[in-house]
Amino acid sequence: MLVWTKPGKALTWTAFALVFGVLVLAPFIVVIAAAFAGTWNGVLPSNPTVGHLQEALSGDELASLSVSLQTAFLGGLLAVVVGTWGALAAHGAPGPVARVADALHHLPIAVPSVVVGLGLLVAFSRQPILLNGTKWIVVIAHLVLMVAFSYGTVAAALQRVDPSYADVAASLGASPARVLWQVRLPMLRPAIASAAGLSVALSMGEVGATIMVYPASWRTVPVSIFALSDRGQTFTAAAEALVLLTATVLVVFTLDRLRGRAVEQ
Amino acid sequence: MTVQLDDVSVHFGRTLALEGLSLTVAAGETVALLGPSGSGKSTALKAVAGFVRPSSGRIRLAGQDVTDLPPAKRGIGVVVQQYALFPHLRVSDNVAFGLRAARTPKGEVTRRVAEMLEMVGMTSFAKRFPRELSGGQQQRVAIARALAIQPKVLLLDEPLAALDAQLRADMLGELQKLRREVPDVAIVYVTHDQSEALALADRIAVMRDARLVDIAPAAQLYATPPSAFTASFLGGANLLPVETFGDGVKVAGHVLPGVRATPGKELLCIRPHAIRLGDAGVPVRVIATQWRGSSNQLTCTVDGLPEVSVRIDLPADLQVPALGAQVSMVLPAEACSLVPAERR
Ligand SMILES: Nc1ncnc2c1ncn2[C@@H]1O[C@H](COP(=O)(O)OP(=O)(O)OP(=O)(O)O)[C@@H](O)[C@H]1O
Ligand SMILES: [Mg+2]
């Protein structure tokens, strides 16, 4: 920062702490407090309890967590495969084709997720592909949304990789498949790993499209939270949110560790 | 194996990066492609390697047309400018890459990798990753990797450009040694450094603006450059306009004894170190001096030729004239050659 005087520094730090504290930390703290609150009538919650947390970790709500994790891994990881493939294909394609592919892959980010969900619902509620009412429509919704992020991450990394690596590998007699598996993909491994982390994390929190398409049998945690809060069960919703938060942090942290290892190699 | 380029042109979109290059490199011969930045040297190399597709012309290896063959089918060793060592593979796996691609038996791979690393003096670095190596070491590994597949053609794109001056001088010596280890390989060596070209090449091809300007044996190109561009790019020759009278030539009105006029060649070319100061020469005025350790370089203007300046290398043991001093430069006939004036 370009502030050198002591009072100037103190002032900027205070301003930063205030903004960060109020906008970023406060909601977290309030959610955590609410998760353990028996009642909350005054300024501070009272009658601390772990009852809500027990509720959030049992029956339907626990099933939601499992659903969310499965969806995130299936949808997120499929999205990484599709996104990486798309980015590689677009990179090798002639200019106009690459630009169209780029635009198409970014469409799901540009379009509101509710619209994406509605589109999928209408498209897959009739023959020939009838997916409405199955978990697959949720997975596909997540896949469609996360592909955009995976594609973006891998495409950006591809831009930075010098094409001479692949050229040299080919000159050494490697077939295109060998060049792909032994040179291009390993060199993209950090980007692919961070695309995976990003996709899974975003998928764990996705609600806009999911709420349009989910069947009763496949309800993700964010949808549960929404439903609970809608029914006025704010504290249980907060407890569920805490579970979601913890699960996401754990998953992302684990993926990040894997990524760290990939970079080290 | 002979490399033969036959009127090869390469376009990148609208840019013409290489225009009608014809060039033959014989087995065992080293040809340097020498030229300023952007002159198409790398493009020529990439065309031979198969990394770019010529828009016209043919490329032949040992007489066989390979223009439409992918790089993997050409069996050419390539060392690119930044080496492009695979960052996720150890040194030994980098060197083994081409052997494994050819499904060489395991024992043979181990043996050959060891032999290659030995040749470039990198045996003790076999287990390191490229990022744990210095620039010079990376360069050796890149060469070992290219030679591991026993190519009959080796392409080197500015292999020394990324190294500092001292290391470059050492590596130049190593490349000369390496040359003797692979006596029948055709080598194309791209550089913009004339001293590398002179030290390594049998023949030098001078390139400019996507075109081949001159090609000749190194010594001949240096001694009697065919064009003004080659004269100044290779060895920084002075170029002085001459007037002819009958058989003889004059510079700034002064007769140069022993230099014979040639029709169509209006520039006198002479190296800075070939000029001497003495009596009865062409009068010049010293405008700058620069000490270079082994010599002093004078920059002078020539009376009567306002648009040219002349560089003169004086041996360090000679007295340096003062700035602004008027001296007389002697142009020994045996060091002079005539070239056509640039018409562009
Ligand atoms: N991939 C590319 N796309 C578009 N233009 C290119 C590409 N590669 C090279 N060029 C252009 O082709 C011309 C020749 O480039 P080339 O790389 O062959 O030059 P060079 O002689 O190797 O120069 P340098 O000494 O800087 O490496 C340049 O004008 C360059 O801008
Ligand atoms: Mg180049």
- CA A145 to chain CA centroid, Å, is 9
CB contact under 8 A, B71 and A186: no
| B344 pLDDT tier (thresholds 50, 70, 90) | low
The rounded Å distance from CA B13 to ligand 2 centre is: 18
Percentage of chain B exceeding pLDDT 70: 99
Instruction: Supply φ then ψ for residue B253, to 5 degrees.
Output: 85, 0
Q: Which of B50, B51, B72 sits opposite A175 (nearest CB)?
A: B72
Nearest CA to ligand 1 atom 3: B12
Is the separation of the CB atoms in B238 and B301 below 8 Å? no
CA-nearest residue to B87 within chain A is A187
More confident residue, B239 or A133: B239
B190 touches chain A (CB under 8 A): no
- CA B299 to chain CA centroid, Å, is 26
In this chain, the answer to whether the domains covering B3-227 and B237-339 adopt an identical fold is: no
| Mean of per-residue pLDDT scores for chain B | 90
Instruction: Give the model confidence (pLDDT) of B31-41 as tens digits.
Output: 999 999 999 99
Those residues whose C-beta lies under 8 Å from the C-beta of residue A32, and which sit 6 or more positions away, are: A238, A242
- What angle in degrees, to the nearest 10, is found between the helix axes of A234-264 and A59-92? 40
Residue A20 in 3-state DSSP?
helix
| Alpha-carbon distance values, A151 to A1, A95, A117 (Å) | 33, 17, 20
Instruction: Supply φ then ψ for residue B80, to 5 degrees.
Output: -90, 170
Would you state the structure tokens that stand for residue B101, as one six-digit string? 């691609």
Question: Which residues of chain A are at the B interface, by a Cβ-Cβ cutoff of 8 Å?
Answer: 162, 164-165, 167-175, 178, 182-183, 186-187, 189, 265
Q: How far apart are the first and last CA of chain B?
A: 37
A173: DSSP letter: T
CATH number of B237-339: 2.40.50.140
Q: What is the average pLDDT across B89-93?
A: 95
Say how far apart CA A120 and CA A110 lie, in whole Å. 16
- Residue A1 is predicted with a pLDDT of 54
pLDDT at B328 over 60: yes
- Residue B292 is predicted with a pLDDT of 84
Q: Is B247 exposed, middle or buried (0-12, 13-18, 19+ CB in 10 A)?
A: exposed
- Residue A188 is predicted with a pLDDT of 92
The class (CATH top level) of B3-227 is alpha beta
- Residue A93 is predicted with a pLDDT of 81
Q: What is the average pLDDT across B165-182?
A: 87
- Residue A182 is predicted with a pLDDT of 93
| Choice among B89-103, B122-136, B319-333 with the minimum mean pLDDT | B319-333
Is the separation of the CB atoms in A72 and A200 below 8 Å? yes
CB contact under 8 A, B51 and A169: no
Q: Which of A167, A187, A265 sits opposite B51 (nearest CB)?
A: A167
ipTM comes to 0.85
- CA A265 to chain CA centroid, Å, is 26
CB contact under 8 A, A162 and B97: no
Smallest Cα distance from A88 to chain B, Å? 18
Would you state the structure tokens that stand for residue A187, as one six-digit string? 């060199």
B51 touches chain A (CB under 8 A): yes
- Residue B324 is predicted with a pLDDT of 87
Instruction: Give the model confidence (pLDDT) of B6-31 as tens digits.
Output: 999 999 988 999 999 999 999 999 99
Q: What is the average pLDDT across B235-261?
A: 84
Say how far apart CA B259 and CA B269 lie, in whole Å. 11
In chain B, where the domains are located = 3-227, 237-339
Those residues whose C-beta lies under 8 Å from the C-beta of residue B283, and which sit 6 or more positions away, are: B252, B254, B302, B303, B326, B327, B328
pLDDT in tens, chain A (265 residues): 566 788 888 888 888 888 888 888 888 888 888 888 777 777 777 777 777 778 777 777 788 888 889 999 899 889 999 999 999 988 888 888 888 888 888 888 888 888 888 888 888 887 777 777 778 888 988 998 899 889 999 999 998 888 899 999 999 999 999 999 999 999 998 899 888 888 888 898 888 888 888 888 888 888 888 888 888 888 888 888 888 888 888 988 888 887 766 555 4
Candidates A107, A105, A74; CA nearest to A196 is A74
